[in-house]
Structure 1
């Protein structure tokens, strides 16, 4: 399964339709096939860039801290989301520490003839980037429809997704990954039984 999880060499798939769930999917697989796509601070930075989140260019101890803190945030998010799915109460204290890095102010921007408010924060930094992830988790927990938060139905897959399909019947992390594997397995089973 590990080779089917990699849309790019060594990159976590971005297939969840929600940033918080894509973050959970940076750790995938089961048993011996378990894979952590965040093996280095460079891998975390690449993933953040793919998600259009600027963390600046940390190096040395700041880069090491980014890797450590990203994994701590991911574990906290997994715990909170799992508890929410099970109808249990979670402790948001750790998540709130990451949210505190989201210092921003409203700014009026006048594009063309229409003014609108945007929030601008400090310069890009690892703490701010993780704050963006924490905000996605908090938004999912507070406003998400948890009947649409699911894990892939393939028995060898643990990837999460937010079912935004019109019929809300999405079963697979990706039709190209697990959906096709399931169809192929069913086809092989039918051919064996018909032979």
Structure 2
């Protein structure tokens, strides 16, 4: 499976591996290999880490805890203590190992290291100025959070490909249907 990376933050790209929350609930992590493939495509590690069914379940549970933490941050509500504890525990794990070889920098790590990167990014999001620019995508079915770095802070969609294109096409069709006065 090919994943989409449009958020400029690993945690915000990992959360939509469960897309259209509350509508279609499209789960993209259906097998252990999907988590390993996501980690490689995200550039967190070079080789897929070993992931079994328990690792898949843990990754999905952590994803949901991080989603609720981001949701609480955007909605300015109190996060759930158990979610904070789960993310804090994952963030305490060792990060992927970096090494410089003749052909460049290489990243190696297991599933815990991959999840540590995501958990730390979630925690750093809470401490960074990006937290003030977090928004939900305006598409009614999209549940992606994004950091609005646009001038004037008027961005509405998580990305122009997909949600933005659909919204603009729908607006165009509506204008074409409605006769000018």
TM-score (normalizing by structure 1): 0.76
Structure 1 residue 97 corresponds to structure 2 residue 97: no
After superposition, the Cα gap between the structure-2 partners of 1:56 and 1:69, relative to the gap in structure 1 and judged at 3 Å, is farther
Contact kept, 8 Å, 2:29 with 2:35, in 1: the verdict is yes
Paired residue for 2:72, among 70, 83, 93? Answer: 83
What is the match of residue 134 of structure 1? 119
SS in 2 for 1:145: helix
Paired residue for 1:54, among 42, 45, 51? Answer: 45
Contact kept, 8 Å, 1:85 with 1:146, in 2: the verdict is yes
Greater Rg over alpha carbons, structure: 1
What is the match of residue 137 of structure 2? 152
Structure 1 residue 73 corresponds to structure 2 residue 62: yes
Q: How far did residue 144 of structure 1 move?
A: 4.0
Q: Distance in 2 between matches of 1:104 and 1:12?
A: 21
Contact kept, 8 Å, 2:3 with 2:41, in 1: the verdict is no
CA RMSD of aligned residues (A): 2.8
Q: Distance in 2 between matches of 1:67 and 1:144?
A: 31
Q: How far did residue 180 of structure 1 move?
A: 1.5
Cα offsets for 1:60-113 (capped at 9, x unmatched) = xx52232111101101101111112222232221111101212699x9x9xxxx
Q: Distance in 1 between matches of 2:170 and 2:95?
A: 50
After superposition, the Cα gap between the structure-2 partners of 1:103 and 1:171, relative to the gap in structure 1 and judged at 3 Å, is closer
Contact kept, 8 Å, 1:21 with 1:160, in 2: the verdict is yes
Contact kept, 8 Å, 1:45 with 1:55, in 2: the verdict is no
Structure 2, gaps ≥5 residues long: 101-106
After superposition, the Cα gap between the structure-2 partners of 1:67 and 1:55, relative to the gap in structure 1 and judged at 3 Å, is farther
SS in 1 for 2:7: coil
Paired residue for 1:189, among 153, 156, 174? Answer: 174
Higher RCO, Cα 8 Å, sep 6+: 1
Q: How far did residue 31 of structure 1 move?
A: 5.0
Q: Distance in 1 between matches of 2:46 and 2:113?
A: 7
